[in-house]
């Protein structure tokens, strides 16, 4: 082969390679990779990557130890204090207020006052209703139960609508919890007025119990444990009917009674003595 012919062949081959290279460089890459994806799926790779990156992380079962400590710190060795803490605010009679609640034989209920350290607390109860009055000693200079006008205006004036004739029955029970003021003889005037008002409403005089209590008021007030607390607990008996218990600054009920489903008192406080 002559040299000129060989050079022409080499030059032609070079041009062909250059032309093909320019075509490859100017062509866009394919956008559809479905065939590639299908190949991965066929090999079991697609599900592997999906599970590896889409796996939901499990959360640990953590406990809020601070809340647990707060809850435990609220417990008390006093039965009355623990019961009192379960009473919602709307069923705690505040100072200067009176409330009457209707009892439902199918619904357990609890009623109380806010804490007190010198107030006069009036509680009346039977198998159908509970009345609680919370009357402040403060701002009356110790005359709440010793001055007739104060007793009439501050206590009886607030109670009288709840003690109309026939409002209560001869089976109803009442307690007046008070802090002695100026000696027993001076206090007796106000207490007798309250008792007469309750008898006018239908209670028997012997069912109105008067109980003094000792209290230190002002900044020195101590309402820890059962102190400064009154509570009425209305629960259902397993054998039928209901049980009512009244607590007054003590972990043991001062009064308790069973009632049938109609609210009538049973023969005794023992559950078996009450027919549903």
For 208-218, how does the pLDDT look when each residue is reduced to its tens digit (9 = 90+)? 999 999 876 66
What is d(CA 75, CA 85) in angstroms, rounded to the nearest whole number?
9
pTM: 0.69
Residue 117 has pLDDT above 60, yes or no: yes
Which DSSP state fits 116?
Answer: -
Task: Count other C-beta atoms under 10 Å from residue 12's C-beta.
Answer: 10
Tell the burial category of 237 from Cβ atoms under 10 Å away from its Cβ (0-12, 13-18, 19+).
Answer: middle
The continuous run of DSSP H or E covering 128 comes out as none
Q: Which residues contact 94 (CB under 8 A, 6 or more apart)?
A: 113, 114, 134
Mean pLDDT over all residues of the chain? 78
CATH fold of the domain at 80-273: 60s Ribosomal Protein L30; Chain: A; (3.30.1330)
**3-class DSSP assignment, residue 262:** coil
Dist CA 191 CA 160 (whole Å): 15
pLDDT in tens, 126-145: 999 999 999 998 767 777 88
Grade residue 267 by pLDDT with cuts at 50, 70 and 90.
confident
The pLDDT assigned to 246 comes to: 98
pLDDT of residue 10: 67
- Overall residue count recorded for the chain in this entry: 276
Collapsed DSSP state (helix, strand, coil) of residue 147 = coil
Looking at residue 11, what is its pLDDT?
A: 67
pLDDT digits 0-9 by tens, 149-159: 999 999 999 99
pLDDT given for residue 76 in this prediction: 77
As a whole number of Å, the CA-based R_g of the chain is 42
């Amino acid at each position: 082969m002559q040299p000129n012919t060989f050079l022409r062949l080499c030059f032609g081959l070079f041009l062909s390679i250059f032309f093909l290279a320019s075509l490859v460089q100017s062509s866009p890459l394919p956008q559809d990779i479905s065939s590639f994806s299908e190949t991965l799926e066929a090999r079991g790779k697609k599900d592997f990557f999906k599970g590896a990156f889409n796996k939901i992380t499990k959360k640990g079962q953590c406990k809020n130890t601070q809340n647990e400590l707060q809850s435990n710190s609220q417990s008390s060795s006093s039965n009355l204090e623990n019961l009192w803490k379960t009473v919602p605010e709307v069923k705690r009679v505040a100072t200067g207020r009176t409330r009457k609640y209707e009892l439902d034989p199918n619904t357990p209920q609890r009623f109380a006052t806010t804490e007190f350290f010198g107030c006069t607390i009036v509680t009346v109860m039977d198998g159908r209703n509970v009345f609680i009055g919370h009357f402040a000693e403060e701002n009356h200079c110790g005359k709440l139960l010793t001055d007739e006008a104060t007793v009439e205006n501050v206590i009886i004036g607030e109670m009288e609508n709840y003690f109309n004739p026939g409002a209560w029955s001869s089976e109803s029970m009442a307690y007046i919890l008070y802090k002695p003021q100026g000696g027993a003889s001076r206090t007796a005037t106000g207490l007798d007025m309250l008792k007469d008002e309750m008898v006018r409403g239908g209670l028997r005089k012997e069912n109105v119990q008067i109980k003094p209590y000792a209290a230190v008021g002002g900044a020195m007030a101590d309402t820890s444990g059962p102190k400064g607390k009154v509570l009425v607990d209305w629960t259902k008996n397993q054998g039928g009917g209901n049980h009512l218990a009244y607590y007054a600054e003590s972990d043991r009920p001062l009064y308790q009674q069973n009632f049938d489903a109609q609210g009538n008192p049973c023969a005794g406080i023992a559950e078996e003595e009450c027919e549903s």
